[in-house]
Amino acid sequence: MKVILTDRVKTLGNVGEVVNVSQGYARNYLIPNKLALLADEGNTKQMEDYQKMLSKKVEEEKKAATDLAKQLNGKTITVTKKVGGNGRLFGTVTSTELSKELEKQGVVVEKRLINVDDPIKTLGDFEVKAQLFQGVDATFKVKVEMDPKQVEEEKKKQEAAAKKAGRKGAKEGEEAKAEGTEAQENAEETEA
């Protein structure tokens, strides 16, 4: 049975294509879910008109994607995350987070268009690609930094450890002095 696809079907094809499928697949799945129409003369003419309109829409979308790619290329966004003791992030930087950060900077990119090849699990600078349209890609930089609150906490911990080590060192120094004077007194007594 020949049908005209009205939506993209992964295993069959794109919008407007005429494909041959089994009757059961067409009648029980494609047509009821409005993914296809029966390929008769009326529907074929209607799809041709729809294809013309669709081609204009595709051109507009491609132009918009190209403009967005110009805005996005070379852009750097900063993401702050909490870091564990071993220098690794708690979790990873996701495409959702990147999309929100870009939106804060005035560039709207859907999260599904952002492609993070390797999971970002450490601090540093990374390059991320966004496939905005078929054949239109953009690359931007992501800088992952430690959460400022956590940086302050780490400084406080280090200062406290330094003070504690300083006190400990002072106590050991006093004990060494006391032992040294006792040893000196004992040596003087033995000489006398």
- Amino acid 60: pLDDT: 86
Q: Which CATH architecture has domain 72-149?
A: Roll (3.10)
Would you tell me which CATH number, out of the four given (3.50.50.60, 3.40.50.300, 3.40.5.10, 2.102.10.10), belongs to the domain 2-54?
3.40.5.10
Cα dihedral 130, 133, 135, 141 in deg (nearest 10): -20
Per the listing, tokens 């794109």 go with 14
CATH 3.40.5.10 spans which residues of the chain?
Answer: 2-54
- Amino acid 187: pLDDT: 47
Question: CA 2 → CA 13, 39, 41, distances in Å?
Answer: 13, 6, 12
In this structure, how many other beta carbons lie within 10 angstroms of the beta carbon of residue 4?
Answer: 22
Buried b (16+ CB within 10 A) or exposed e, 50-84: eeeeeeeeeeeeeeebeebbebbeeeebebebebe
CATH 3.10.430.100 spans which residues of the chain?
Answer: 72-149
- Amino acid 168: pLDDT: 62
CA distance 82 to 60: 41
Helix (H) or strand (E) holding 103: helix 95-104
- Amino acid 33: pLDDT: 94
Helix (H) or strand (E) holding 142: strand 136-146
The DSSP letter of residue 13 is B
Read off the pTM. Answer: 0.58
Using DSSP's 3-state secondary structure scheme, residue 18 falls into strand
Mean pLDDT by 10 residues, the chain (192 residues): 85 84 94 91 83 82 89 90 82 90 89 87 91 86 86 78 71 52 50 49
